[in-house]
Amino acid sequence: MTKIYGFVAEFNPFHNGHKFFIDEIKKKYHPDVLIAVVSGNFVQRGDFAIVDKWSRTKAAISSGIDLVVELPFAYAVEPANLFARGSISLLYKLGIDTLVFGTENDLDFKDIATQLMQVDPEFDQDYSNSYANNLSLAYQKAGLDVLNYPNQLLGLNYVEEIIRSGYNIDVKTVIRKKDGISATNIRNRITNDDDINNLIPNITQQQFAEVRRSTWDDYYDFLKYKIQSNTVTELQQIYQMVEGLEYKFIKEINHSDNFNDFLANIKSKRYTMARLRRLSLYTLLNIKKSEIDYVYKNPYLRILGFDSVGKKYLNNLKKDTDVPLITRIGKKETDLLSLELKVDRIRELVDNKEQDFGRIPIMRGEN
């Protein structure tokens, strides 16, 4: 029986911890096909991916992943529960039989998720607390131990989505190395101009030398223009712009020298930094709720890369899947991917690198 394993990642950036994770999956579980659903050019906490999706896909395929599929912006830049919903739904459509994720501790995630779902808290509704704090409160209410690690919290969301949706997907874990390597740590070290070459594989080192790295600093002037040139009514149409935040945006953008200053000026106890970064990104990109809803109602599988194993699996999947499987963008795909095409345009304004039209999946061994 063929074993189809899948996982979710951002690879922001792809580092040695990711390579260890992939190697451990293969050593421990021996999957016949290993699939990754990966965020595109924007990531969950409302940031730009440090290098573009094609570069990160190339690193992933060269490191042993058989198939990389893009997680659409509409799911990639959302709170953890919606991020998980989109990720797991795509993996289910890709036909995986087992989800695998990294964890700091060996826990029975299915049992914990089942107990937590009996509490059924609306975590994303109380913005005065972080998601982690809201989840901790729910744990206390359920009489469960608190999970203190982001990877475990996200893993729990994946498992809840599997249970809630009735997907026939098993769950396996890989214990993370306790070496302090994380994408957040690496990004912070890059900001401080610290040496990171011992934390990333050669392919990521090469990409950092050749590919422009993106941060909010590159796009802050675009955000400033967007807020200053729009009316209050126009800003009110932005996805997740609620409770008068448009007035706060208009007021503080004129007193903020950079994006970090802007975040600090609009921050309040009611909203987390991650939520405000996401809202800033929605504003920059002029995202409307109708655009998000369209993606939710019209799923697709956009292929970013594969090796020979992944290519063979895709050929078989085409016969069984009932959703569009996209390897290149033509006229027919333009409407379906309209939101992705729109958000990728902003990245192209800075790095002048085409992200969509004319692009075909990365194949292992290609330059």
The domains found in the chain, sorted by start residue, are 4-212+295-363 (3.40.50.620), 216-291 (no CATH)
Structure tokens at 159: 């498992």
Mean pLDDT over residues 102-108, rounded? 87
How close are the terminal C-alpha atoms of the chain, in Å?
34
User: Model confidence over 77-97: pLDDT tens digits?
Assistant: 999 999 999 999 999 999 999
Phi, psi of 70 (to 5 degrees): -75, 130
Cβ neighbours of residue 340 closer than 8 Å, sequence gap 6 or more:
40, 70, 72, 73, 302, 356
By the 8 A CB rule, do 63 and 201 touch?
yes
Query: Which pLDDT score, from 0 to 100, does residue 107 have?
Result: 85
Q: What is the mean pLDDT of residues 239-260?
A: 95
Which position has the higher pLDDT, 298 or 136?
298
Confidence of residue 234 (pLDDT cuts 50, 70, 90): very high
Distance CA(245)–CA(231), nearest Å, equals: 13
Q: What is the pTM of this model?
A: 0.92
- Average pLDDT estimate for 195-214: 92
Residue 194 has pLDDT above 50, yes or no: yes
Confidence of residue 64 (pLDDT cuts 50, 70, 90): very high
Q: pLDDT band at 365, cuts 50/70/90?
A: low
Q: Please tell me which residue, 188 or 294, carries the higher pLDDT value.
A: 294
The most confident of the ranges 101-110, 130-139, 287-296, 351-360 is 287-296
Q: Distance (Å, rounded) from C-alpha 238 to C-alpha 285?
A: 9
- Find which of 1-5, 297-301, 327-331 is predicted with most confidence, using mean pLDDT: 297-301
Residue 34 CA to its chain's centroid (Å) = 18
